[in-house]
Structure 1
Amino acid sequence: MHILWCALAFIATALAQVTGSKPIPFTSKGNPILPDGSWYSADPAPLVVNNTLYIITGRDSAAPDENNFIMKQWGMFVSSIPDPAGSQWTLYPKVAEPHEVFAWAAPGTSYAAQVVQGRDGRFYLYAPVTQANSQNADPFAIGVAVSDSPTGPYVDAHPSGPIISQSVPPPGDSIQNIDPTVLVDDDGKVYIYFGTFGALLAYQLDPDMVTVRSSVTQVDGLPGYFEAPWLMKRKGVYYLLFAANNAGADSPCTPTSYHACIAYATASSPLGPWKFRDVILPIVSSTTSHPGAIELNGEWFLVYHTADAKGGGHFRRSIALDKLNWDDSQSPPAIRKVVQTFGPKPPAPPTYNIAPTAVASSKYPSGIQYWIKAVNDGIVRANPLPPDYWSSYEAEKSRETSVLTYVWKDPVQLNGTSMVFFADQDAGANVGVAPPKEWFVEYLDQSSNWRPVVNSTPYPLKVTDTPDVVRFQTIRTTSIRATLIASGSGGQFAGVGVKEWEALATELQTR
């Protein structure tokens, strides 16, 4: 298979796998800020102090094929001259660990945290962690730590326990208490928002930064709200950025139920009501992107995460920074669409596979968790999430026959194809996702008739990330289609899953 991942070796200071807590200066050449895979970073939250940008992140430590959030510590990226095109940064790889800061917390789960500066000049870390020996249905809770420096060391500002959980403040709540975002308003009042999986709550805090002052506000009016709120204020208007997921045929940005884009809402009061405005960042290479926005020296920036670093993935993310621009001709001022930028990459190696230049489609709609564009994105993951492949699976309604089609704008010459199957069941199953019973490829001739390719090698059915190539007599066409016959019995069929479908040209292609 011709996979698009290339080695990204353009960090001026070579960073081996980062360990320890000593600051590490490095030069970034663009996004992601640290692309070499030495220290994966997620859930960025920016802070500006003395014309310097501090971005606290969780560290992703999942193994390459592990689909789980393994996050044991927070780190911080610091730059006085941040630039999406590249600049000097310093990585503080270990700013805090949950159980070292909070005696009541269990190790791990260094999820999305934020550092804000209080009116007293000190720095407050709002951190969602799992509470040890919790009696709550969900053990996540929000603690607060304090330091005289953004980079720590931090000590618990509320040693008696979390300030928010499913049991505090009374009567508690029933949501997962993660993703806190905090705003110290111009009048000194403090507000905290938090929540995920479509639930978003808010409180006013006392000036001490830890005591809940108000009754809870349940936040509504955010279509597709999923997670990752970011509360900020500009020119008297309150803005709430968030990860949106309202997948479906008419979704403004999320093709599958696993994806999230970045949208925003505005309000005239810090606790709402909120009015949805627009999407500002479409989906990225990771399923989520988790926003934070900040002003530095008159310029605004959006920070977020992607899977674009070397060896990256949905659980091995890396932060990026791009400019955020405003349209002040509107009332209230609107946030313009963010243009995602990328650091330099080596040229892609030559390949015979021209599937990525085609438009992919399926004859029948697939489940909302799967993505047709995955079949020709050039990426094959050993342990994919559903949006990393296409599937015909619809439980007991799975079809016996499915058809995938490629269409090119101009005629192409092909003499081979291969297909990487996904399966969670053995061959012959009539449940789950199994390898197909058979499959074959046809092409559209000059008379717009479908004709079978004349293959000289068989169509393999083995589930492997390096399948055998099906060779056939050279064809010239603008479209090919693959018909997949599902396994099954008793009138019930398994789904078929496809990670990647290659269309091989007769000549080597350079890109």
Structure 2
Amino acid sequence: MSRELTVPGNPILADGDYYSTDPAPFVADGQLWILAGRDEAASDVNDFIMPEWQLLKTADPASGKWTHYPSIIKPENVFAWAEQARAYAGQIVEGPADGSGKRRYYLYAPVLEKNSDAEDRFAIGVAVADSPLGPWRDAHPAGPIISQKVPEANKIQNIDPTVMIDEDGRVYIYWGTFGQLRGMELERDMITPKGPERTITGLTGFFEAPWIMKRKGTYYMLYAGNKAGPTSDCTPAVYHACIAYGTAPAPMGPWTYRGVALKPVSSTTSHPGAVVFNGQWYLAYHTADAKDGGHFRRSVALDKLEWDDSVSPARILTVIPTLRPQPPLAPSRNIARSAWATASNDPVPVQFWIKALNNGVVKEAPLPPDMWGSWSPDNPPRQWIEYRWDKPVTINGSRIWFWNDQPAGAGVGVAPPAKWHLEYWSKQGWKAVPGASAYGTQSDSFQDVSFRKVTTRCLRAVLDASTDGKTHAALAVQEWEVLVPAAAPIAVRSDGAAPEACR
């Protein structure tokens, strides 16, 4: 069963009826195909619920015309040794021609091995078919070709395979996650490990999702990187990933880190796949940009990938994600999205993200980078968060959404504040906003405060931490809104230089 779609841009599947993830593009029969997993997690579930793989196909990405094949493979229907679901990131590769000139397609699939006593039961199987649409059958019915037990014992999670047939016909497979990357040669039958397993190094910040490719004699490895920090070229928050890349003169290295191909997107995970189609390179990746999307409800996007051949090896130009036309934001009293955010604990701990304060998003089950937070081994009794605007604004209200994992009165973990208040910058310095209503401290809902109008360029929420009398808990805020007297069109601040501090 398939359906024909005409889409105006990214993500390709955007209406929320099918989420798509971990894209693996390939070319077959003059068409550009994308193998993708399917996310089915509920909006309040933080887990990868991925029961099957699906396919997308187009003759011309610029046309917006795609054919969607919603369900082509379930792990348990192909691999008798595999458990249901957990159809993680796979890749389809067109194999070499046989003696009659016929080619087959090989699916490299990470699945859970049932009846295994391995510490981690993820394993990589291989399926084969005469068409990308199947029918698919297990090319190695004896079991996986890679696991913690075969072909060599290892202690890593064996997922995210990527495969390349080199120009000399030799076949290479790479896989791994959690900072562990392995590589190995396969026999030309596309199935049998030729070995040995090698540990791949030199790719700064490697976390997972390798993608191997070759261009003009140079080997390129794209991957999800999570080298995090305020000065990182990859990501400020450790839960988010960029797509980084490195190069090598030979399939097994040595590998050299070269930079970032795609900065963090709206989903915490990032997963690359790149392919040349009709002379143009494309990068496939996923985001949380579909309707009701999230970190576990991702959707595939596709953009052009360009090269800088003035240097050697050629540099990948950082891809700027595109998004289908969006309806204008409704007028609102909230002007926080036009502000620049900072905090007393700058630089913010790498598990949190200061930009989450005013991104307009509140999640049912947030992850740490969906909020500002202050957790540290020795939490202080007071913190503040601050908005700065380029020009003075007149405001008379605020709303704040606290997050906690410990109750009020706790001295550990993250707890609601014991109390808090708002201060604005005036010529006399920081002053409490006048005539403020009650400051609520409940979590998991907006706490609304109204006050008499003030005109200022800077506003702070000053938060007193919860304490048990011995130590102080940390604080966390998902979203902080600042309200003007009447609704107006929303201006969203773009990245750029910070406004001058109020002092």
Q: TM-score range by the shorter chain?
A: over 0.9
Query: What is the correspondence of 1:456-495 to structure 2 with a 5 Å cutoff?
Result: 456-465=436-445, 467-495=446-474
Give ranges in structure 1 of 5+ residues lacking alignment. 1-21
Choose from 92, 101, 114 the match for 2:69: 92
Deviation track 1:421-457 (CA, whole Å, cap 9, x = no partner) reads 0011111111211110100001011x26111101341
What amino acid does structure 1 have at the position aligned with 2:187? D
Q: CA deviation at 1:236?
A: 1.2
Calculate the aligned-residue CA RMSD, in Å: 1.1
Structure 2 Cα separation of the partners of residues 207 and 23 of structure 1: 33
Choose from 134, 153, 159 the match for 2:135: 153
Q: What percent identity do the matched residue pairs reach?
A: 51
Q: Corresponding residue for 1:61?
A: 40
Give ranges in structure 2 of 5+ residues lacking alignment. 98-102, 491-503
Structure 2 Cα separation of the partners of residues 328 and 409 of structure 1: 40
Look up the SS of the partner of 2:267 in the other structure: coil
Q: Corresponding residue for 1:454?
A: 434
Q: Corresponding residue for 1:124?
A: 106
Contact in 2 for aligned 1:415/1:506 (Cα 8 Å): yes
Moved over 3 A (4+): none
Query: What is the correspondence of 1:391-410 to structure 2 with a 5 Å cutoff?
Result: 391-395=373-377, 397-410=378-391
Contact in 2 for aligned 1:455/1:470 (Cα 8 Å): no
Query: What is the correspondence of 1:108-507 to structure 2 with a 5 Å cutoff?
Result: 108-120=85-97, 121-170=103-152, 172-365=153-346, 366-395=348-377, 397-445=378-426, 447=427, 449-465=429-445, 467-507=446-486
Q: CA deviation at 1:173?
A: 0.9
Look up the SS of the partner of 1:152 in the other structure: coil
What amino acid does structure 2 have at the position aligned with 1:452? A
Deviation track 1:295-348 (CA, whole Å, cap 9, x = no partner) reads 111111000000000000000000000000011111111111112111011111
Look up the SS of the partner of 2:259 in the other structure: strand
Q: CA deviation at 1:238?
A: 0.8
Q: CA deviation at 1:392?
A: 1.6
What amino acid does structure 1 have at the position aligned with 2:321? Q
Structure 1 Cα separation of the partners of residues 435 and 454 of structure 2: 11
What amino acid does structure 1 have at the position aligned with 2:431? R
Structure 1 Cα separation of the partners of residues 166 and 313 of structure 2: 18
Contact in 1 for aligned 2:234/2:244 (Cα 8 Å): no
Structure 1 Cα separation of the partners of residues 12 and 231 of structure 2: 33
Structure 2 Cα separation of the partners of residues 362 and 137 of structure 1: 42
Which range is displaced more, 141-150 or 482-491? 482-491
How many residues were matched structurally? 484
Deviation track 1:149-184 (CA, whole Å, cap 9, x = no partner) reads 0121210000000000000003x2110000000001
Structure 2 Cα separation of the partners of residues 88 and 249 of structure 1: 40
- Confirm whether residue 31 of structure 1 aligns to residue 13 of structure 2: no
Contact in 2 for aligned 1:392/1:399 (Cα 8 Å): no
TM-score (norm 1): 0.93
TM-score (norm 2): 0.95
Contact in 1 for aligned 2:91/2:108 (Cα 8 Å): yes
Q: Corresponding residue for 2:500?
A: none
Q: CA deviation at 1:378?
A: 0.6
Deviation track 1:340-390 (CA, whole Å, cap 9, x = no partner) reads 111011111111101111111111243221111111111000110000011
Structure 2 Cα separation of the partners of residues 489 and 304 of structure 1: 46
Structure 2 Cα separation of the partners of residues 207 and 455 of structure 1: 77
Structure 2 Cα separation of the partners of residues 464 and 73 of structure 1: 34
Structure 2 Cα separation of the partners of residues 154 and 455 of structure 1: 69
